[in-house]
Chains A and B, each alone.
Chain A
Amino acid sequence: MRRLILNIHLVIGLAAGLFVILLGITGSILAFEPELDRWVHRDISYVKPGGRVLSLVEIGDAISHKYPGESVVAFLPSRAPEFPTQVILSRGIISVNPYSGEVLGLRTRGQSFFGVVRALHVRLAMGSIGRAVMDWSAFVTLVSLITGMYLWWPVKRMRIGGAWWSAKFWYDLHSSSGFFFSLPALFLAGTGVILGFGDQATRLLNRVIASSTAGNNERAPIQKPDMGGAEISPDRAIAIARAQVPGAVPYRVQMPRYGGLYVVALELPRNRVTGERNSIALDPSTGRIVSEHLASALSLRERLMATNSAIHNGNILGMPSRIVAALASIVLPVQAVSGLLIWLRRKGLLRTR
């Protein structure tokens, strides 16, 4: 039995090792994408807090002054005192100091380093074939981790001995790193498989918990708003939306010219799983709520899938779980490389000390 498990562990490791390395490296980068992205664009990502926060109307005026004749697509209000408010225009995303109205800079659309990293992680930066390869690589990682735990159990190696580049060093590195990070890596791989095979997972969940997924929170069809009168301001739209979700903080206001309605997205800061999934659509001329989509009304299936995503991206417990997710991701390439070196040495293809 052990021989069979070892062969499975070996064959899938050799077959998918390269993709597992890619999943691990890209995953560890994506765990800190918001921070890294802000650091890359640090000249337009930070402001010095101080004074009164300007209303969205005032920020819109500052934008009109800088970019006359351009319509605001959406406002992304600042989510922390040191972050700017962002304003989406057709030409790109503008960062504005919410205390002074100063325009910090423009970010245009297009492929970025993080876009490439995400594309590699999800679909090998290719089409449906690349996506299938990465989905199955996640599954292979899961099987590799489970078989690795089985193989580790009788040995129970938990520390690295032996000289650098010795056979013992690579074996210990493979075993001990696998032991310390196997549990978070299992969670990452398992949740990754569910994300990769999302349609199948959704169908399965629908079958298992059909009674609780009867569309109790499906967004109501958006009705045509009454465009007869003057529009309410985006600040007024936020005030109306906030009254519907006590304790929530607005993080996005879509303007009515883009979509026909005000759509205010709100976050419940303490809810890291579904807290961002509140949106209220308002008639721009009357302020009447046309439809609402609240985190509190999500179905069990939606909550389970959101929890799965939060575990996978490390957001489930905030920064501590993101650090664990990044470390567990980076252990995957360590496992793949050390496993390959062990195999090469045993085959006599590599000389170690």
Chain B
Amino acid sequence: MRRFIPWFLLLAIGSMAANLTGTWSGRFTPEGGEHNIPQILVLKQQGQTLSGSAGPNAGEQYPIENGRVDGNKATFQVTTGEWKLTYNLTGDGESLKGDLKLESPTESRSAKVTLNRTKN
């Protein structure tokens, strides 16, 4: 069993260090909401800095703000107008999962979000 431990460690480090640069797609449903909202993210990772854009489709994209990658965790924000979306995601290289907080001047809601890397 011991001889497998370095391989497990290597695998873990490899997945944590996976670069998030690329196109990601998925959906989210705000708590108590009826509708699944589509998401397309175009991410660019440079070291620990994350930039790019996100939106409901490829044409309607909003710039990513305060993007940061720390190990296998990624955090960033997107302002679409009255609403600000704060993502808190964990990735394994091919998928990103986590929480999304949606805030307007009067409301604060949360959602679970799952995104998968789009193969071009």
Contact = CB atoms under 8 A, between A and B. Distances in A.
Interface stretch (B9-17, B18-26, B68-76, B103-111): B103-111
A123 to B, nearest CB: 4
Interface of A: 37, 73-74, 88-90, 92-93, 107-112, 114-115, 118-119, 122-123, 126-128, 130-131, 198-199, 221-224, 252, 254, 257-261
B81 A221 contact: no
Contacts of A222: 57, 59-60
Contacts of A119: 32, 107, 109
B81 A254 contact: yes
Contact of B60 (A74, A130, A260): A260
Given A112-B106, A119-B107, A127-B32, A258 B79 contact: yes
16 contacts: A73-B81, A89-B79, A93-B105, A107-B105, A109-B82, A109-B105, A109-B108, A114-B106, A115-B104, A127-B32, A128-B31, A221-B57, A221-B59, A258-B62, A260-B60, A260-B61
Contacts of A114: 106
A130 B57 CA distance: 30
Contacts of A128: 31-32
Interface of B: 31-34, 55, 57, 59-63, 65, 77, 79-84, 103-109
Given A122-B32, A130-B32, A254-B81, A115 B61 contact: no
Contacts of B34: 131, 198-199
Contacts of B83: 109
B41 to A, nearest CB: 15
Nearest to B107: A115
A127 B109 CA distance: 10
A145 B79 CA distance: 44
Given A110-B103, A221-B57, A261-B60, 4 more contacts: A90-B65, A112-B106, A115-B104, A259-B62
Given A224-B59, A258-B63, A259-B61, A112 B32 contact: no
Nearest to B109: A119
A123 B59 contact: no
